[in-house]
Structure 1
Amino acid sequence: MTLTAGRGPLSADPAGWFVPPLPDGAVYAEPHRRRVVAVRAGRTVLDTDDVVMVHRRGHPLSYAFRSSAVGDLPATPAAEAPGYVYVPWDAVDTWFEEGRELVHYPPNPYHRVDCRPADRALRVSVGGTVLVDTTHTVVVFETALPPVLYVDPAQVRVDVLHPSATTSYCNYKGWATYWSAVVDGAVVDDVAWSYAQPLAESASLAGCFSFDPARADVVAELPLNSP
């Protein structure tokens, strides 16, 4: 997630507005004083804390490095940061930022995940079978994304949920396991997801479930103007 994605301030559909408006194509770049290490074939091929982070609409969040730091890695000039270059994410096997292994893209310093205990109602059913009907929930406010309700497994008909082969990774919550519902012999794939071992900033979500409204009948008491 970046300033340019979701409903972020530099996205195509920002939640708010600038006064005066920003020009089209505005890019935000700033020094990112964290140590970034890249490993290829078991060998460290980049190790630097001279990094610029670049937010560009229509592009993933990007690191730009001093051209002198990238050695023989493939690189293209960063027009937004003279003297710096972009290195393709797949040019190396593994990226690290201050000791944390990264997956897919760099973490955004402006991204925040707030997990708040709530009394917001959540009712979930699949094929007429109620899986959740509770007001004991956790509301997750995540930068540039709509809020989402999670629920403790004690409030869920876990007997009809079975782990699927689907997984996903979030830089701010960690690895998610997906769950399929089996109701009266019918299988609804990937109806829910959970984080068994979330990252520290989302630790309170450990084991909690959230449900996909495109795959289940979900009635969630969400903040005003949420989808």
Structure 2
Amino acid sequence: MTTEALRHEVGPKRVRGFAAGELVFDTTRPLLVWEIQYYPAYYVAEADLRLPLSPEGELIAAGRRIAEAAVRHTEGPLAGYVRFRWDALDEWLEEDEPIYGHPRDPYKRVDILRSSRHVRVLLDGVTLANTHRPTVLYETGLPARFYIPIPDLRQELLVPSETTSLCPYKGWASYWHLVRDGQRFEDFVWCYRSPFAESQKIAGLASFYNEKVDLLVDGELLPRPQSPFSD
């Protein structure tokens, strides 16, 4: 997709980036650019840079050279803006709070609601979880996720995984593999043990991808949705 076709808009937050303890940029007019459908990237006006950037995008911070740290745009609607590689910087701040992984989408909302609905999770007819006390997470653009207390899982089917993932809305997740009848399903169940403040209601609860299991909610089988997490 060409830059002319990318959806973009000016954001209202103050955004700063740091590398090796030095301020790289400080902007109150960040440009949100949707390079992919699911979340935006921050672009920074060159006037808001605080450290020099070579024409090739090399950044020097506290004597440390960071190759290909950024891309300069010189043509089209993004001319005059710089797009930093996320992992080229050590810290990103919105106002005075750190952000992780990527910017939050201003058009995405996360609602977390406790429920008393009866939820059963099955795979090929085998029950993996059974609860009357789920917590339901509704996230814009994704299926509702049912978070389940760990005692209500078939824990004997789970093997800890070393995989972790980062969500800018919820925090760091850890995973379990599912092992059933000699078959292993990698990273099949996840849990946010210490989620960000706004997602504390799911702390210590476990969830499954609706796309990969059968969900019975109050006796009704939910259709398996299509999403970026579908097989």
Which among 180, 186, 190 is matched to residue 187 of structure 2? 190
Are 1:211 and 2:198 counterparts? no
Structure 2: which amino acid aligns with 1:113? V
Are 1:43 and 2:22 counterparts? yes
SS at structure 2 position matched to 1:80:
helix
CA spacing shift, 1:167–1:182, aligned 2, 3 Å: same
- RMSD of Structure 2 on Structure 1 (CA): 3.2
TM-score (norm 2): 0.72
Are 1:124 and 2:124 counterparts? no
* CA contact 1:27–1:57 (8 Å) conserved in 2: no
Q: Per-residue displacement from partner, 1:140-164 (whole Å, max 9, x unpaired)? A: 1101112221112232233442320
SS at structure 1 position matched to 2:47:
helix
Once residues 82 and 209 of structure 2 are traced to their aligned partners in structure 1, the CA distance between those partners, rounded to angstroms, is 39
Specify every segment of 5 or more residues in structure 2 that has no aligned partner in the other structure, as ranges.
58-70, 226-231
Aligned position for 1:154: 151
Once residues 72 and 38 of structure 1 are traced to their aligned partners in structure 2, the CA distance between those partners, rounded to angstroms, is 13
Are 1:29 and 2:26 counterparts? no
Specify every segment of 5 or more residues in structure 1 that has no aligned partner in the other structure, as ranges.
1-23
Structure 2: which amino acid aligns with 1:33? P
Aligned position for 1:114: 111
Are 1:180 and 2:177 counterparts? yes
Aligned position for 2:60: none
CA spacing shift, 1:129–1:149, aligned 2, 3 Å: same
Pairs aligned (count): 202
Once residues 40 and 99 of structure 2 are traced to their aligned partners in structure 1, the CA distance between those partners, rounded to angstroms, is 13
Structure 1: which amino acid aligns with 2:73? P
CA spacing shift, 1:119–1:80, aligned 2, 3 Å: farther
Q: Per-residue displacement from partner, 1:71-105 (whole Å, max 9, x unpaired)? A: 32334237435643333334423322233333332
Shift of 1:132: 1.0
* CA contact 1:211–1:218 (8 Å) conserved in 2: no
* CA contact 2:171–2:196 (8 Å) conserved in 1: yes
TM-score (norm 1): 0.73
CA spacing shift, 1:89–1:26, aligned 2, 3 Å: closer
Once residues 110 and 60 of structure 1 are traced to their aligned partners in structure 2, the CA distance between those partners, rounded to angstroms, is 9
